[in-house]
Structure 1
Amino acid sequence: MYFHLYRDANGQYRWTLYAANNRKIANSGEGYYNRIDCIAAINLVKGSGPAPIRE
């Protein structure tokens, strides 16, 4: 699994999470003006492992 960090057509930073089979499984859903803010969002996703699942 890996995160792809890139700039969109508007010049904002975004991320996409890819599975081991190279399929997209999540994305940022919004653009970030600063690279560091985009990286912070990636770290939030990385740290959300113990978050409960709600139905």
Structure 2
Amino acid sequence: MAAKFEVYEDNAGKHRFRLKAANGEIIAVGEGYATKNACLNGIESIKKNAADAAVVETDA
């Protein structure tokens, strides 16, 4: 099974997503969105922009 985005509604009525790896482990969680469509747009933005994203290390 490939990685997948799961879209769901939380207890506060916000739409959220989680990205699960092929083994079922949650590897990313999205913010709460007011609408399902906004949540889906957030997923598309990640899919579009993350492939070339740099990894930047910062000190806390």
- Shared fold per TM-score greater than 0.5: yes
- Gapped regions of structure 2 (runs ≥ 5): none
* Mean Cα deviation higher: 2-11 or 43-52: 43-52
Paired with 1:45 and 1:17, the residues of 2 have a C-alpha distance of 11
SS of equivalent to 1:49: helix
Using the aligned pairs only, state the percent identity: 35
Match of residue 41 from structure 2: 40
Counterpart selection for 2:11 from 1, 9, 12: 9
* Mean Cα deviation higher: 40-49 or 9-18: 40-49
Paired with 2:6 and 2:51, the residues of 1 have a C-alpha distance of 19
Relative to its length, the structure with more helix (as a share) is 2
Larger gyration radius, structure 1 or structure 2? 2
- Gapped regions of structure 1 (runs ≥ 5): none
User: How high is the TM-score relative to the length of structure 2?
Assistant: 0.84
Q: State the 1:8 CA deviation.
A: 0.1
Counterpart selection for 1:50 from 49, 52, 56: 52
Q: How many residues align?
A: 54
Counterpart selection for 2:26 from 24, 27, 36: 24
List 4+ stretches of structure 1 deviating above 2 A.
none
